[in-house]
Amino acid sequence: MNQNVGLIGKKIGNTQIFNEAGRVTRVPAILVGPCPVLGKRTPETDG
């Protein structure tokens, strides 16, 4: 089944996270939402 899933957001800055070993990883902070569900498709009804 092909699942093309995505969200649209706005980059609002950068932050950092630490792993168990204490190493830093820089990551973007992205504002997403609200994301209303417009419809639900299933293989049984949509093929």
Q: What is the pLDDT of residue 1?
A: 54
Q: What is the pLDDT of residues 15-42, one digit of tens each?
A: 999 999 999 999 999 999 888 888 888 8
Task: Pick the closest to residue 15 from 3, 32, 29, 5 (CA basis).
Answer: 29
Residue 14 has pLDDT above 90, yes or no: yes
Residue 5 has pLDDT above 90, yes or no: no
Q: What is the pLDDT of residue 24?
A: 96
DSSP letters, the chain, are --------EEEEEEEEEE-TT--EEEEEEEEE----------HHHH-
Q: What is the pLDDT of residue 39?
A: 85
- Maximum distance among all alpha carbons in the chain? 49
Q: What is the pLDDT of residue 22?
A: 94
